[in-house]
Structure 1
């Protein structure tokens, strides 16, 4: 059997593990439950992928984000490792096929969202799989004290009963001490081995700049550091606007946000990953699972919602261990804007109940009914009809989603309902006369056997894959079949769907979850206070402030953050000012003369001269020479 390092070399091409990957792998291989807290870029996935490849059977990975699952599955498949993901939007028939492949196709990894564990039939199918390891990624989501609590994660503990002898590994990049303890309780980890890697990123300079013209400073930073960069903003409009302004300033930039289709996201991502553009301007929809080691600069144009998110996003810089920059730009009005954006839009109990009742009325769901009913949903239309604040309403629906009361799915795709309207024998006749269309038609009939009797929702990408044709070819044929009277189909674009997971019970439904709402709101207020303190505190190293937030205490300043560099500048300027005064007492000199004599940088000399002039210690003569003021 190959040893861990041999597995690492064979599939990833690395010759050494990072600390503490090897120790974590040894813990998992010994059959122990394991808790691994490794900051962003620490290589968490290796910690469960390597031991899973050394054991017989399949590793079950619980992961909350589709993009993260897709990225890891693609990465494993490129290395010749059999892996698959069961995400939202996949029909039951296809899930059954996928699970069959898992059971009989010698797959090594099955990625699944925690919400899928709420389906009893899926859990029953998982019971029959030869599971060798259960990995819970983003494990802080299981804790109500975490910054991204998802109630569906509480269902993971069921796997402990199903697979009592299978080790669990819980992984997270950001968790306070309180969250760590809660994760162990909620997942019922059995005497777990803890691996807590320091949050210190010694190569990242955490910079906080107070500026009026943020874009001007961004341009300076990007010119000084022309390597790949990420700029985080808070909304989609800002993505487009900033990219437009950067392009007009001769920077190459593109954008990424949650409103793009999967194809658009992939295309934009590829431009940046392949370094066809320098800058990715993005909302926080971008970044999870992105493995790009040479990001030099991460810039935040606005205050983050919490330090957990900020640390993760900033940590996408400098993964190659070279010096990198995490820059947070602040203007005087930002704290007021942050309270308005993050706190004022939090729903209270009354608003949450109002939104839930309005949703039920909007879709004409009677009291006691509605379970498993699914509807196309347009948030804008809903808010206009009931005169609701869109952001606050979205937060309320998102909370209902995380509590499992509803499921809000962003699909951003064309939904097609199709039905054959001629007899099956006529369809066979048509295919014999049109052999080029046969693969697609056969794929349709095999995927949707009831398509003669009822309209079926068509997954174009799945049909294209089964027919080994492109999606445009499938759509072109559907239009042709409609025009020739073979099928009837309706295509409509909708940006989301809403599924009701429970029967309507109005206040009884809301009363059951309101305690979580109160905890969430209190936590968000506390987290924003920590962000504001991080920004406003001017007497402490920024790296030390971050470490302290996560429960670490460093005796030494980092030496490279905005606080540390300003301290050095003040010290240097003080000694430089004394030196300049000594020189100018002897004779009048130009700034260039002073720079050559002192060997200080031009910027330092100019800064010191300006300070001396402001204090009326020196003057500048008409011949541009500096002189002691008499």
Structure 2
């Protein structure tokens, strides 16, 4: 273990491992199939990166999270460790070059999406590599009972045939008992050693509050806890709206979602990481690879889709082990809204087939064609053209993405088209007069030989790589050429890239994948029911509800969640509070917040007494949500 610790100190600058990391690493180094359930923030990547660096050969990492793969590859490269990722949208010729680099270039890590294992030629190439460890990240995706099942994961077990002596390491942050059993079976793990960290986070107070005015409660929480905070919302529009509202209230806030450019994402994230702002309002696109220890509060203002996502997002609070808060704000209409948003937008087979056919027509893909074709995509425009409901269409596309039929990237990208408008001899003359631009122009001409004849789609990253320059330098040269009328250069920003992973076969394609659709729809309904149970249950400790969901039984009350606090603190005598409210209403109408402030009572106590007064016909609710005495 001293060697492993030395690697940790050399590359990660840590002097000790986190809980269970060293045991997992030791198991892998002994050649054992290993299964680790480490809740968010547990440091899963170190568990495969350290043993891979200690052994000769390459670590194969299978993950569905493109952004996380790119992030890990970038971080490894910064440490001087050679790593490659085969993600969606990479052409076959480019993949061949990358796999050649793995075979002959002394690389240590090869990341790929599970869909890549659908290609026999890729498996044939992988078979020839000196694989020292096969890591399956987000291993819950292999289970039909997991919250993000992907059939492509079922292909992973075939690697056992080619690498019988290579250890498998399955990693996940959240898995119910049923999912854990399924993972072991589906991956064909041989007598795996199971490492499981408790899902208990004793320093986090899980709070569920039913409120009329969510923004007001957010304001109260942030004033009381001025440390770094995350607010999770369900859509991009809400990130900007709530961040703007908080800024107008005097808080420093920024926002984050998948549609921002890489530059905006980095800028906003760094402002929050460096505590130039207190709050970041984000969709669930925010969080992967983020490990900020001193997050004090994580607030959800809308219901999450499932308890797995909620646990991971809430768990970004309090990683420094100091007291922190995971707060979920609800209102009476949230359950109805969630059912409308999640359940009514679940696609059936008929809609899935129609949407897929229209999608192929939209991009003019002929029957039997389309594999590896990549397009920029605007969901709203597509839905308007075919009069499709947006949420249902997006859910259908997500399903096809998980089935590997398409790859839908929510990362910001930039579509560039380019054409040289002067003869080749004039371009050569320009290069001789501008030698600093020569490498970039040559890289363009060698990569796109038809660029004199037509507007050509242009891969900025590829040209930057081939010319040994960064993207900003390539941009600068393109702008200069455009100003001198040497090229026609168009750049269009978009926030979604769509890749077709197989040929178009219409009903044959949909019939093959639709067998999973009904099961997945039913699973989503069950998962939403678990979320509703979590917010509605008034008789159980919130921490216990979470632990029970993940299979941990016989747990004690945490003592500091919203349930425990209301039972620990002696409630104000309801008769006295009722009389106090009646006395206040004799002086004038008040809303619940004003009553709460004037009586110095908890929200729960006030709502309970107001309900009694309403049922006994002592008070009325006005159209403007104020309470008044009955005459």
> Superposed, which structure 2 residues align to 1:537-616 within 5 Å?
537-570=537-570, 607=601
Flag the 1:476–1:532 CA change in 2: closer, same or farther, 3 A.
same
Is 466-475 or 546-555 further displaced after alignment? 466-475
Give the match's secondary structure for 2:84. strand
For 1:65 and 1:556, locate their aligned partners in 2 and report how far apart those are by CA, in whole Å.
Answer: 35
For 2:599 and 2:502, locate their aligned partners in 1 and report how far apart those are by CA, in whole Å.
Answer: 69
Superposed CA offset, 1:123-164 (max 9, x none)? 333333221111111111111211011222223223222322
For 2:446 and 2:366, locate their aligned partners in 1 and report how far apart those are by CA, in whole Å.
Answer: 37
Deviation at 1:369, TM superposition (A): 4.7
Other-structure match for 1:517: 517
For 1:191 and 1:604, locate their aligned partners in 2 and report how far apart those are by CA, in whole Å.
Answer: 63
Other-structure match for 1:390: 390
Indicate conservation of the 8 Å contact 1:67/1:289, yes or no.
Answer: no
Other-structure match for 1:358: 358
Other-structure match for 1:10: 10
Deviation at 1:226, TM superposition (A): 1.4
Other-structure match for 1:266: 266
Other-structure match for 1:596: none
Indicate conservation of the 8 Å contact 2:405/2:501, yes or no.
Answer: yes
Indicate conservation of the 8 Å contact 2:148/2:402, yes or no.
Answer: no
Give the match's secondary structure for 1:340. helix
Flag the 1:50–1:503 CA change in 2: closer, same or farther, 3 A.
closer
Flag the 1:411–1:120 CA change in 2: closer, same or farther, 3 A.
farther
Give the match's secondary structure for 2:496. strand
Other-structure match for 1:300: 300
Deviation at 1:69, TM superposition (A): 1.8
For 1:105 and 1:552, locate their aligned partners in 2 and report how far apart those are by CA, in whole Å.
Answer: 46
Deviation at 1:117, TM superposition (A): 2.7
Deviation at 1:303, TM superposition (A): 0.9
Report the RMSD for the aligned CA atoms in angstroms: 2.9
Other-structure match for 1:156: 156
Deviation at 1:205, TM superposition (A): 0.7
Q: Does 1:216 align with 2:212?
A: no
Flag the 1:489–1:178 CA change in 2: closer, same or farther, 3 A.
same
Indicate conservation of the 8 Å contact 1:83/1:110, yes or no.
Answer: yes
For 1:467 and 1:502, locate their aligned partners in 2 and report how far apart those are by CA, in whole Å.
Answer: 32
Q: Does 1:332 align with 2:332?
A: yes
> Superposed, which structure 2 residues align to 1:148-297 within 5 Å?
148-297=148-297
Other-structure match for 1:620: none
Indicate conservation of the 8 Å contact 2:259/2:411, yes or no.
Answer: no
For 1:605 and 1:554, locate their aligned partners in 2 and report how far apart those are by CA, in whole Å.
Answer: 38
TM-score, with normalisation over the residues of structure 2?
0.86
Give the match's secondary structure for 1:525. helix
Is 202-211 or 454-463 further displaced after alignment? 454-463
Deviation at 1:175, TM superposition (A): 0.8
For 1:418 and 1:93, locate their aligned partners in 2 and report how far apart those are by CA, in whole Å.
Answer: 21
Indicate conservation of the 8 Å contact 1:71/1:290, yes or no.
Answer: no
Pair member with larger Rg: 1
Is 372-381 or 278-287 further displaced after alignment? 372-381
Superposed CA offset, 1:335-355 (max 9, x none)? 111111111111112221221
Indicate conservation of the 8 Å contact 2:89/2:374, yes or no.
Answer: no
Deviation at 1:288, TM superposition (A): 1.6
Is 327-336 or 111-120 further displaced after alignment? 111-120
Q: Does 1:457 align with 2:467?
A: no
Indicate conservation of the 8 Å contact 1:240/1:255, yes or no.
Answer: yes
Flag the 1:604–1:188 CA change in 2: closer, same or farther, 3 A.
farther
For 1:565 and 1:296, locate their aligned partners in 2 and report how far apart those are by CA, in whole Å.
Answer: 19
Q: Does 1:114 align with 2:114?
A: yes
Other-structure match for 1:145: 145
Flag the 1:47–1:455 CA change in 2: closer, same or farther, 3 A.
same
For 1:411 and 1:79, locate their aligned partners in 2 and report how far apart those are by CA, in whole Å.
Answer: 25
Give the match's secondary structure for 2:570. helix
Give the match's secondary structure for 1:358. helix
Is 539-548 or 19-28 further displaced after alignment? 19-28
For 1:430 and 1:380, locate their aligned partners in 2 and report how far apart those are by CA, in whole Å.
Answer: 43
For 2:307 and 2:266, locate their aligned partners in 1 and report how far apart those are by CA, in whole Å.
Answer: 28
For 2:377 and 2:17, locate their aligned partners in 1 and report how far apart those are by CA, in whole Å.
Answer: 47
Is 420-429 or 170-179 further displaced after alignment? 420-429
Give the match's secondary structure for 2:412. strand
Deviation at 1:465, TM superposition (A): 4.6
Flag the 1:417–1:570 CA change in 2: closer, same or farther, 3 A.
same
Other-structure match for 2:590: none
Is 264-273 or 78-87 further displaced after alignment? 78-87
> Superposed, which structure 2 residues align to 1:70-89 within 5 Å?
70-89=70-89
Indicate conservation of the 8 Å contact 2:258/2:411, yes or no.
Answer: no
Indicate conservation of the 8 Å contact 1:2/1:54, yes or no.
Answer: no
Indicate conservation of the 8 Å contact 2:89/2:372, yes or no.
Answer: no
Superposed CA offset, 1:180-222 (max 9, x none)? 1111222111221111211111111111111111111111111
Deviation at 1:92, TM superposition (A): 4.3
For 1:527 and 1:346, locate their aligned partners in 2 and report how far apart those are by CA, in whole Å.
Answer: 13
Deviation at 1:256, TM superposition (A): 0.7
Flag the 1:25–1:376 CA change in 2: closer, same or farther, 3 A.
closer
Indicate conservation of the 8 Å contact 2:413/2:497, yes or no.
Answer: no
Query: Structure 2 unaligned runs (5+)?
Result: 577-596, 613-631
Superposed CA offset, 1:389-434 (max 9, x none)? 0110111122122222233344533322334455555433221122
For 1:460 and 1:209, locate their aligned partners in 2 and report how far apart those are by CA, in whole Å.
Answer: 48
Give the match's secondary structure for 1:3. helix
Query: Structure 1 unaligned runs (5+)?
Result: 578-602, 616-630
Flag the 1:67–1:413 CA change in 2: closer, same or farther, 3 A.
closer
Indicate conservation of the 8 Å contact 2:211/2:329, yes or no.
Answer: yes
Give the match's secondary structure for 2:64. coil
Total equivalences in the alignment: 588
For 2:38 and 2:167, locate their aligned partners in 1 and report how far apart those are by CA, in whole Å.
Answer: 19
> Superposed, which structure 2 residues align to 1:119-130 within 5 Å?
119-130=119-130
For 1:169 and 1:565, locate their aligned partners in 2 and report how far apart those are by CA, in whole Å.
Answer: 41
Other-structure match for 1:434: 434
Other-structure match for 1:132: 132
For 1:423 and 1:354, locate their aligned partners in 2 and report how far apart those are by CA, in whole Å.
Answer: 47
Superposed CA offset, 1:239-294 (max 9, x none)? 00000011111111111111112222122111111211111100011112212111
For 1:316 and 1:492, locate their aligned partners in 2 and report how far apart those are by CA, in whole Å.
Answer: 35
Flag the 1:411–1:209 CA change in 2: closer, same or farther, 3 A.
closer
Flag the 1:466–1:512 CA change in 2: closer, same or farther, 3 A.
closer
Flag the 1:249–1:483 CA change in 2: closer, same or farther, 3 A.
closer
